[in-house]
Amino acid sequence: MTGHAERAARFAADEPRAHWHDQALWFVRLKRDRMAAAVPEWEALRERAAAVKAHARARLADYLEQFEREATRRGLRVHWARDADEHNAIVHRILSERGVTRVVKSKSMLTEECHLNPYLAARGIEVVDTDLGERIVQLAGEPPSHIVLPAIHKKKEEIGELFHRTLGTAAGASDPTYLTQAARAHLREKFLAAQAGLTGVNFAIAETGGIVVCTNEGNADMGTHLPPLHVACMGVEKIVPRLADLSVFLRLLARSATGQPVTTYTTHFHAPRPGGELHVVIVDNGRSRLLAEEGFRGALACIRCGACMNTCPVFRRSGGYSYAWTIPGPIGSVLAPGRDPVAHGSLPFASSLCGSCDAVCPVKIPLHDQLLARRREVVRAGGQPLAKRLAMRVGGWVLRHRALYEVAGRLARLALRRLPRALLYGRWNAWGRQRELPAAPAESFRDAWRRTRGDGRG
Amino acid sequence: MDSREEILAALRRAAPPDPGLPSEPVRGTPYADLALQLAEAVRAVGGAFQRVPDAAALREGVAALAARLEARRVVSRVPEAGAGTAGAAEVADPHQLEGVDLAVIPGRFAVAENGAVWVAGEDLGHRAVFVIAQHLALVVPAAEIVNDLHEAYARIRFDGPGFGLFVAGPSKTADIEQALVIGAHGARSCTVFLVG
């Protein structure tokens, strides 16, 4: 079975590109650091955000009911979907009942998770992704490789070539400003022709029954203020109790995501536009199951800023596609095995457990604890490759038998000193592939202790 | 059981103990000079900042901006800033706003920490006007600057049209190799006029 390590190896094989990817994300991480350092109450904001999310999790059903009540009072129409299929069917029904065939969509990881685009396309509805990065990967026929920077894996020359082929830009042109302006003109036509706008939801407010959508490009606004129909899709976990709670999350979100003090457009929808309709589809799709998992429910606090990806030494060097899951990086590696511990069993191991993700997470999800806990689950579920399972079994056996352990230690020290390099660093030794084995000490700690009786004068 | 009931029941079954909702308000760090900090923050998010003493100076400033941008079609939602081009705002369908070169929009207040301006739906006519226009001018009274988002949300209500947003600078993207490009889908420039 192909796991993260194999897919990462393919990405890393192109060394200059892997290095460039690493640097591009590190650049975003540094911007985030500067922003966080400029807010004296940063840690208090994180504490508060985590506390609000922990409370909201405990009362999710109540808050969703309150949201529905308030939203309905304001003229929004609320729908409920147990899973991806139901979500897709609801969105399709809303669109098809109104004869909609042309839709513009702003970024929504939920609709990616539900595979809404192909579902609608198969039913004769054109969905155009309007976030520039998402449009790039859509034109290339690829999924996003990062939740905030969907086309971070692509070089400008590749985007130039793609736009030349699909949008008719000048051959060989790769200037980001030129390419962005070409996309602006192309997408403006799509915005003006769209009959409906789809968006995700960054926050839904129980107290006021409204939703908030954040973008830098203005694509959610272009997509929703022109056509008469707006459909917004949200996971159940997007609820915050009060309007005032937004101040905490919005101060954290953009600073953590891209190193900006706030997104350019932070749009609050509390009513459909005059003469229009605003539908909100609330989706479970496994979230209530995650809520029931004591060790992992904290992951529901995620506000999808992507900071854990930008800082992760493994993500930066392996690329979003190596995770083979809608949400990559540390948070994705916690979420995906919850769906299927065997299919996504390699993801919790795609981490050095350095804890950098915990340190940058604006809502203080204990990611590296959760990654470690997921490893245990994957092992229990039999999601480990045979070689690793055998090695662990033999290792456990040796460690349980003192005499065996001593002999093994002696043999290992001898082997490290005497065996030819070709044999020591053979194909069987995954550890030695990228690093040197340790120099063998002359004696073990146990031998040294016996010789000196622990008086330290050895 | 329908989906709504099933989801709510599943969430109730799975709900952990409630640690309670923190109730004391969060406080930010106050700035000594709000207008100065606002000017800095607006520029930091890619916007332009211009302080004008009164309505006459505002009119001049907006006219000069329109001239500099070679704006032919101007929508003004701020009477003191000038009337705009005849009939530009009175369209039945927001699609007819395509081709507006400059929109002059009132901001209810500005946020010093991040350069964002709160725009209320009832001030817009069509919601689309702030994003479809090629360039944007936001007009904020100098007395209406708050320190941070905590203070901002204490002022926000959703009565009336039930719509409002923060605008912080011009539309932008960095989706191609992290190179910042101004003018992604919305305004290519955003000038904040602080009046008073």
Q: Domain extents for chain A? A: 39-154+195-289, 386-453
- What does the pLDDT read at residue A137? 98
Contacts of A138 (CB under 8 A, 6+ apart): A117, A128, A129
Q: Is A197 within 8 Å of chain B by CB? A: no
Where does the pLDDT of residue B89 fall: very low under 50, low under 70, confident under 90, or very high at 90 and above? low
Nearest CA-CA partner of B172 in B185, B161, B158: B185
What long-range pairs does A65-69 form, CB within 8 A, spacing at least 24?
A: A65/B8, A66/A206, A66/A207, A66/A209, A67/A204, A67/A205, A67/A206, A67/A209, A67/A239, A68/A209, A68/A282, A69/A209
User: Residue A86 is nearest to which of B3, B21, B132, comparing CB atoms?
Assistant: B3
Phi, psi angle pair for A122, to nearest 5°: -65, -20
The shortest C-alpha distance from A83 to chain B (Å) reads 9
Please tell me the predicted confidence (pLDDT) of residue A9.
94
Could you read off the pLDDT of B37-54 as tens digits, one per residue?
Answer: 999 999 999 999 999 999
Do A133 and B175 count as a contact with CB atoms less than 8 A apart?
yes
Question: Per residue in A117-147, is it b (16+ CB within 10 Å) or e — as a string?
Answer: bebbeeeebbbbbbbbbbbbbbbbeebbbbb
Flag if B184 and A217 touch (Cβ within 8 Å). Answer: yes
Looking at domain A39-154+195-289, its CATH class is: alpha beta
Distance from C-alpha of B140 to C-alpha of B95, rounded to nearest angstrom: 27
CB contact burial B156-180 (16+ within 10 A = b; e otherwise): bebeebbbbbbbbbbbbbbbbbbee
In total, the C-beta contacts within 8 angstroms joining chain A to chain B are 249
Q: Rounded to an integer, what distance in angstroms lies between the CA atom of residue B114 and that of residue B125?
A: 26
Average pLDDT by stretches of 10, chain A with 458 residues: 90 96 97 97 98 98 98 98 98 98 97 97 98 98 96 97 98 97 98 98 98 98 98 98 98 98 98 96 98 97 98 98 97 95 94 97 98 94 84 93 93 89 83 85 88 71
Nearest CA in chain B to A176: B176
> Domain B33-195 sits in which CATH superfamily?
NagB/RpiA/CoA transferase-like (3.40.50.10420)
pLDDT at site A1: 60
* Other Cβ atoms within 10 Å of A382 Cβ, number: 10
Closest CA to B51 of B188, B164, B130, B143: B143
Q: What are the backbone angles phi and psi of residue A223, rounded to the nearest 5°?
A: -80, -20
Alpha helices in A320-444 (DSSP H): 329-339, 356-360, 367-380, 386-400, 402-418, 421-424
Instruction: Name residue B109's beta-bridge partners.
Output: B118
Query: What pLDDT is stored for residue A296 in this prediction?
Result: 97
The candidate with the shortest Cα–Cα distance to A329, out of A382, A379, A365, is: A365
Chain A stretch 33-72, residues whose beta carbon is closer than 8 A to a beta carbon of chain B: 39-41, 44-45, 48, 51-52, 54-55, 57-61, 64-65
Contact A265 B131 (CB under 8 A): yes
Residue A99 DSSP one-character state = T
Contact assignment for B131 to A218 by CB distance below 8 Å: yes
Residue B178 has its nearest CB partner, among A28, A45, A270, at A28
Q: Is 0.90 surpassed by the pTM of this model?
A: yes
DSSP secondary structure, A335-351, as one string = HHHHH-TTTTTTGGGS-
Q: What is the pLDDT of residues B112-166, one digit of tens each?
A: 999 999 999 999 999 999 999 999 999 999 999 999 999 999 999 998 789 999 9
Give the ipTM. 0.98
Q: Which helix (H) or strand (E) holds A77?
A: strand A77-81
- Residues of chain B with Cβ-Cβ distance to A176 below 8 Å are 176-177, 179, 181
Q: Do A216 and B17 touch (CB under 8 A)?
A: no
B-chain residues near A261 (CB < 8 A): 41, 44-45, 113-115, 168
B56 CA: distance to closest CA in chain A (Å): 29
Q: Does A246 touch chain B (CB under 8 A)?
A: yes
B178 contacts on A by Cβ (under 8 Å)? 24, 27-28, 149, 152
Instruction: Sketch the domain layout of chain B as residue ranges.
Output: 33-195
Q: Identify all chain A residues contacting B26, using CB atoms and an 8 Å cutoff.
A: 41, 44-45, 48, 247-248
Return the pLDDT at B161: 82
Cβ(A133)–Cβ(A162) below 8 Å: no
Q: Which of A150, A179, A261 sits opposite B114 (nearest CB)?
A: A261
More confident residue, B93 or B89: B93
Average pLDDT on B169-175 reads 97
Token pair of B107 as six digits:
């901001």
Question: What token pair was written down for A336?
Answer: 């995906």
- Match 């460690």 to its residue by tokens: A399
Of A423, A434, A309, nearest in space to A360 by CA: A309
**Contact between B183 and A181 using a beta-carbon 8 Å cutoff:** yes
Show which of residues 206-225 on chain A sit within 8 Å of chain B, judged by CB atoms: 208, 210, 216-219, 221-222, 225
CA distance A426 to chain B (A): 39
